[in-house]
Structure 1
Amino acid sequence: MKGEILKAARLIILSIWLMGLGSNAQLNSTFYASTCPNVSSIVSGVIQQALQSDARIGASLLRLHFHDCFVDGCDGSILLDNSGSIQSEKDAAPNTNSTRGFDVVDNIKTALENSCPGVVSCADILAIAAEASVSLAGGPTWNVLLGRRDSTTANQAGANTSIPGPSESLSSITSKFSAVGLSTTDLVALSGAHTFGRAQCRTFSNRLYNFNGTGNPDPTLDTTYLATLQQTCPQNGSGTTVSDLDPTTADTFDNNYYSNLQNNKGLLQSDQELFSTTGASTISIVNSFSSNSSSFFQNFAQSMINMGNISPLTGSSGEIRSDCKKVNGS
């Protein structure tokens, strides 16, 4: 009898463990400890080299991870090129002519394949590269949870509808975050990624001249900042000219983004609405992060982990792509 009870208890423990394997519990920070122990330093090394000629690359790599995770989870689908069976997410409206850094991802993949072939997924490369990019720019570090596998499909239609846009209302963006299980605090913390990097004039020029069809600029824009942006982005100028997302410390990961919002110097409409939407719950979070850098860093790190947990492929799902741009065997 005693033996049967023990046997039953073991079976229950085993089934609980197996249930855990099917969830995010499978992602862990030591996933490559024995199979590719130098993975983090290899990724960081390639990014450091890229930063020497491209100050924007860290922000661009972070954005790739974000745009990957919001479409069917963090599965590396954004990296796939067009093929007979794949409509690339690179051609979706939020990504086309704006996502960048794919060449650096390829360089990271090549370096990892040379060191530990067939081991590290492209989805995990994006997660590791995001942390390394933030850390190298003076931001927080965190233990990246790993063990994602790569999708064998892309979802261009999903990319068009799921990724938050620069001109969307706060309520619309909040619902997009909520749809993938992220909170309002996650929204405000992850928006802080706009403390570095650049944005194209076409993503905010509606605020400079004819906001919401009024024939006037966005009233929430600081007038001095408005004049500067109008010089960078003249009314009929190139929509692809870029402007710093953070006019104070353009390439440093700090909490100045939030004080910029308090001073009506958020570049994108989606940035400024975090602070300028009357009665919004985001205002107090902006104030908190502006006054407390360590609070922002802690929340940003946790929110990156939360985002990295969106529907990963694990176990025997998906594959480990040998070339991030295409499905194995294609």
Structure 2
Amino acid sequence: METTFSILYLLIISLFLLIIPPNHCFPQLKHDYYRKSCPNIESIVHHAVKKKLKQTSVTAPATLRLFFHDCFVHGCDASVMIASPNGNAEKDAPDDLSLAGDGFDTVIRAKAAVDSVSRCKNKVSCADILALATRDVILLSGGPNYKVELGRRDGRISRKASVKGHLPHAHFNYNQLKALFATHGLSQVDLIALSGAHTIGFSHCRQFSKRIYNYNSQSSIDPTLHQGYAKELQLKCPRHVDPRVAVALDPTTPLAFDNAFYKNLQQGKGLLSSDQALLATKKSKRVVNAFASNNTLFERLFVAAITKLGRLGVKTGNHGEIRRDCRFPN
């Protein structure tokens, strides 16, 4: 009964989203923005991303995470990709140091592929290429296909100091997560849907070590964590483990974009505290249960949420530029 109510509640939300098309809400961006200047943009980026993904599976979670980190700080303007000779750029901030290089490389390769087409050269922003590449890694990992809104300009400013306080941490509780997402106009349903991105990817042992060792004075293991799973994590992450060791966020289907993440939460197998925290309230638990029982519903609301994410702080017209090299302002 609880799950049926949850699905009906979320179906109403998804139907509402279908009634109001995304572009009607955000006219600055358009699905066919490059129709005249670079009509084959989607196929060019898709081919480059597919080629990169065949080389390493890390491409998918790395690109998706790069998009999230970019949008949550300065907005979706590819400022996270800017390099700094003095180590003072956004990508040099402590919260961004764990971003895998494969995400950056995916965008750089796709940009080179786009610019190799004469009519497209220096016509497509790095921010839009990142947005397209994110959709493509999701699709190529078995997730939904969706239309990407385009027309973003690249930012010119990237500062290390601007990152602090703008990104969620692995130890955040539900209220902290909800408050952070709310500052970007993202709802609780958006938060839970976007958290489903953790169905692919990995996390370093230090991000969850407290949950499996000396949790508190009453228990050495976090009681919200499945005890058998905790023992498995202890084997993979001994106390003095190499800090480079990482564990799959989804222990069941780590390379597939599906709703297994939510099924894992139901069993107490959310790797990070911030993941397991999604079961903290009755409302959030209903959403988790609905997504766990209906992959189509999860995909539909994930697409709605990542579309909203892709609108954060976008720069258009003279407020940004189209970088010739994604790593440096023009």
Contact 1:197 1:250 in 2 (8 A): yes
1:52 is matched with 54
| Aligned residue among 288, 293, 296 for 2:295 | 293
Contact 1:197 1:245 in 2 (8 A): yes
Instruction: Write the letter of the residue equivalent to 2:240.
Output: N
Gaps of 5+ in 1: 1-20
1:91 is matched with 92
Alignment identity in percent?
A: 40
1:176 is matched with 180
Contact 2:62 2:99 in 1 (8 A): no
Contact 1:233 1:239 in 2 (8 A): no
2:247 is matched with 243
1:89 Cα offset (Å)? 1.2
Q: What SS is found at the alignment partner of 2:163?
A: helix
Greater Cα radius of gyration, structure 1 or 2: 1
1:202 is matched with 206
Matches of 2:100 and 2:311, distance apart in 1: 22
1:164 is matched with 168
Gaps of 5+ in 2: 1-22
1:250-284 deviations in Å (ceiling 9; x for gaps): 10011010000000001111111102x2x352111
Within 5 Å, give how 1:225-304 maps onto structure 2: 225-275=229-279, 277=280, 279-304=281-306
Instruction: Write the letter of the residue equivalent to 1:155.
Output: R
Matches of 1:94 and 1:214, distance apart in 2: 31
Instruction: Write the letter of the residue equivalent to 1:164.
Output: P
Taking only aligned residues, the RMSD between alpha carbons, in angstroms, comes to 1.7
How many residue pairs align between the two structures?
304
Within 5 Å, give how 1:1-330 maps onto structure 2: 24-83=26-85, 87-100=88-101, 101-115=103-117, 116-211=120-215, 216-275=220-279, 277=280, 279-328=281-330
Matches of 2:185 and 2:34, distance apart in 1: 27
Return the TM-score normalized by structure 1: 0.88
1:185 Cα offset (Å)? 0.4
1:109 Cα offset (Å)? 1.0
Contact 1:274 1:280 in 2 (8 A): no
Contact 1:202 1:240 in 2 (8 A): no
Q: What SS is found at the alignment partner of 1:243?
A: strand
Contact 2:66 2:99 in 1 (8 A): no
1:69-101 deviations in Å (ceiling 9; x for gaps): 0002111110001146x8211111221133432
1:94-120 deviations in Å (ceiling 9; x for gaps): 211334321221111111111111111
1:199 Cα offset (Å)? 1.1
Q: What SS is found at the alignment partner of 1:25?
A: coil
Matches of 2:99 and 2:40, distance apart in 1: 31
Instruction: Write the letter of the residue equivalent to 2:164.
Output: N
1:288-329 deviations in Å (ceiling 9; x for gaps): 10111110000000101000011100122110001000011x
Instruction: Write the letter of the residue equivalent to 1:97.
Output: S
1:12 is matched with none
